[in-house]
Structures are given as structure tokens and as C-alpha cells.
Amino acid sequence: MPKPSNRLSGILHSGKDGWEVHFAAMTRKEAGEDIIMLSVGDHDFDSPSETVEACVRAVRAGYHHYTQLPGIPCLRAAMARISTRCTGVETGANNIIATPGGQLALYAAVQGTLDKGDHAVVVAPYYATYPGTFRAAEADFTVVEADAADGFQPRADAIEKALRPNTRAILLNTPNNPTGAIYSRESLEGIARLCVERDLWLLSDEVYWALAEGHHVSPRALPGMAERTLVINSMSKSHGMTGWRIGWLTGPESMITQLTSLNLVTTYGLTDFVSRAAAEALENDYGVEQIAGIYNGRRKLFLDAIRGANEFTVRGSEGGMYVMLDVSAIEPDDEKFAWGLLDGEKVGVMPGSSFGEAAAGHIRISLCQPDGILLEAAARLRRFASAYRSKAA
Ligand SMILES: Cc1ncc(COP(=O)(O)O)c(C=O)c1O
């Protein structure tokens, strides 16, 4: 076989990345062990039945054809309505390009703002696909850690130090995966000022906005930012539609027009019947309030169950689908902790260091399990911690 491109082989870095604990937990669960999986971020429930019915109707009605490259008009209009609500900035259909999932919105944002050799700053802890998305654009990036001691709030002064003459963009994610931190207005104002002063793009991943509505602040709404912010959004989390692959990018109209050429050479537009169902789900907010209620309820339930145990320090964990526990008082090596928890108590979690240095000494816990299982997991965690302590004493 001839050699593949360096671009392709450079997307993923080889080596250990912490997902070994997750895959081991999955294999053991499939083999019949009573493993509680708290390592993945996919809903434990189906998409809303109204959305499913809308899709079935659309298939039967003959929506089987090519669609407009930036998305069908009613879908873009419905996404614009949600973007107005998510970002607090009046948004029109021409500010929207529809993509197959938030990941492709992120890919488009990076491809659209960085040339080969350009530099970006990525705020960590971050979502696992970020580095590979920059490598796919042959762009360079510097990771700037948001400290656990600050509740994982990013600091503009740390970001400023990482800027270079060829820096073109900053990427951040709020509410954050993996930490659950909701970035404060103050943190975002500092970063926005940098973007304006240095004429930078801000790539703002807000796919968890609906799981923190009322607390979420979009940097797009800050002074001078609407013209330089690209917001990554998705129906995966807010509308319970991970497998449907529907997301979008919101930004200045002229940028969105240019990004349409990327859809020409990649997706050639979205699936027709999925687009119709997605538009109906967005117009009617199918599932949004219920899903937010489920995760907000689970977060409180789990944190209440864990808070009594003083070995754990809760950090971030304010919104979204995850909570982050500092376990360093029990075991500073988070990977060792995660393997011990899997072996000793059959609970699968992600070691924090898989998401960057700032989350070392932590574990990430997904809330994608029903209340009863989360309570059982909290009990197993507490038992594991006290057994670990007495073993060490
Ligand atoms: C922070 C973040 N951004 C983007 C995505 C991608 O979302 P999608 O499933 O819509 O591609 C995810 C998915 O987990 C995520 O956690």
C-alpha cells in the first residue's frame, strides 16, 4: 500500500491516554460483571419520542433528497432562534451553518480560522478531540491550563503569556467537559479583551449550554465579540440526539458564507429527513427542559451523596454532564485510583490526567446513569476511599 498522508497519520498521538480504564470497564461489563460505567458521556435514555415521530413522518413524506449546503432554511432559522437564546445575541439564519454534529462545527471553526503553521491557544482541561482537530488543520497550539484551585476558571493573564505573533484563535469550552465548570463573566471578559486587543478569533464550544441555562454566559455577547466569535453548538446534549449527528456553527455572516465551501467538499449538506426532524425539535424545544432537569437533578443528588465524605473535594461540577472530584488526598495518582476503584468496587471513571495536567489528581464522573445507580456509585466510592485510607495507615 502506498503511504498515507502525514496529515492523516498525525491526527492522533499514540500512547496511553487514560481511556484504557474505560475500555477495561466496558469489556468486563460486557462479560457480565456488575460494573457501573461512569466513564462515558452519552445519555442513558432515548431521543424524545416527538423527535423520533417527526423523523418517521419526514421519511414517509419523501424527504430523501439533497439539501442546501449550509442547511435547509427552516433548520437554519430554528438554529438561529436557539443561538439567540444560548448566546444572548440576536441571531439570524445567515449567521448559521448546519453541520453533522458539534464535532464538525469544531472542525469547520478550526479549518476556517487557521492556516498551516498558524498558532492557537487551547484552554484545558479540554474535550478529547481538540488537539487532533488542530493537527488535522496542520496548525500549532499551546495548551493553557485552568487551575483546579481556581475551580478550573481560565485566566486571561496565563493565556496572554502563551500568545505568539502568529496566534489566530483561542478555543474554550463552557460549560466545560470534563470539569463541569461554568466560566464566569469575569473570566470571559478578560479573554474577550485579549481577543479584541490582539484581533483574534474566539472559538467558543457551548454544546452543554442547555444543561446550565440561566448560569451560562456566552462570550459572543461581550463587547466587540460578535464579529470575532464562532460558537460551536449541537443537538447531541441539549436535545438528546447524540446519534443523529446534528450541530451548527454560529458566527458573522461573511464567515458563514465562506464556510459553506467547506460543506461543499465535505458533507455536501445534511441528511434531508434528519434535518426536517431536527428543525421541528428545535422549534418546539423537544426534550430540552426535561433533559436539563434530569442532569441538574442527578448532579445535586450525586454531589449531596459525596459531599459528606471529606476525602473528596468537589471542583467545577456546576453544569453539564460531568462532575470532577479531587481524589488526591486519597491517592495522588489519579490513574492508579481509577484502576483501584474498578478492581475493588467495579466502578469505571475517567482519570483526570487524561484531560491535561490541571485535572491530575482528579476523576471525572459522568452523570449518564439513573439516580439509583449514581447513589450506589457514590456509596462504592466512599467505601473505596475509607478502605484505601485504612490500608495506607
Ligand atoms: C465539549 C464538547 N464539544 C463537542 C462535542 C461533540 O459533540 P457532537 O456529539 O455533537 O459531535 C462534545 C461531545 O461529547 C463535547 O463534549
Residue 17: per-residue pLDDT = 66
Indicate the pTM of the whole model: 0.96
Residue 393: the pLDDT is 63
Alpha carbons within 13 angstroms on the beta-carbon side of residue 255 total: 21
385 C-alpha to ligand 1 centroid (Å): 31
Q: Name beta bridge partners: 351.
A: 363
For the CA of 321, the closest atom of ligand 1 is 16
Instruction: Choose the weakest-confidence range: 13-17, 105-109, 250-254, 338-342.
Output: 13-17
- How far is ligand 1, taken at its centre, from the CA of residue 383, in Å? 33
For the chain, the average pLDDT equals 95
Domains of the chain by start residue, with CATH: 6-46+288-387 (3.90.1150.10), 65-284 (3.40.640.10)
User: Of all atoms in ligand 1, which is nearest to the CA of residue 177?
Assistant: 1
Q: Give residue 225's pLDDT.
A: 98
pLDDT, tens digit (0-9, with 9 covering 90-100), for 141-151 = 999 999 999 99
Q: 102 alpha carbon to ligand 1 midpoint, in Å?
A: 5
Interval 168-195: pLDDT, tens: 999 999 999 999 999 999 999 999 999 9
For the ranges 4-8, 38-42, 44-48, the maximum mean pLDDT occurs at: 44-48
Split at pLDDT 50, 70, 90, the class of 307 is confident
Predicted pLDDT at 78 = 98
Percentage with pLDDT > 70 across the chain: 98
Residue of 47, 103, 122 to test ligand 1 pocket, by largest number of atoms within 8 Å of CB: 103
Mean pLDDT value of segment 6-35: 86
Dist. CA 219–CA 318, nearest whole Å: 18
User: How many residues are recorded in the chain?
Assistant: 393
**Closest residue CA from atom 7 of ligand 1:** 102
Angle at 215 between CA 212 and CA 218, to 5 degrees: 90
Cell of 357: 495536567
Q: Give me ligand 1 centre to Cα 204, in Å.
A: 12
pLDDT tens sequence across 84-139:
999 999 999 999 999 999 999 999 999 999 999 999 999 999 998 999 999 999 99
Give the phi and the psi of residue 192 in degrees, each rounded to 5: -60, -40
Nearest residue to 350 (alpha-carbon basis) of 28, 13, 16, 18: 18
What is the three-class DSSP state of 320? Answer: coil
Question: For residue 299, what pLDDT band results from cuts at 50, 70 and 90?
Answer: very high
Residue 36 predicted with pLDDT over 80: yes
**Ligand 1: centre distance to CA 325 (Å):** 21
Distance 234 CA to ligand 1 centre (A): 7
3-class DSSP assignment, residue 146 = coil
Predicted pLDDT of residue 20? 87
> Which stretch of DSSP H or E encloses residue 376?
helix 371-392
Query: Looking at residue 391, what is its pLDDT?
Result: 75
Q: Which residues surround ligand 1 with Cβ inside 6 Å?
A: 41, 101-103, 106, 127, 173, 177, 205, 207, 234, 236, 242, 247
pLDDT number for residue 16: 60
More confident residue, 17 or 38: 38
- What is the model's pLDDT at position 339? 96
Provide CB contacts within 8 A for 31, sequence distance 6+: none
Nearest CA to ligand 1 atom 2: 127
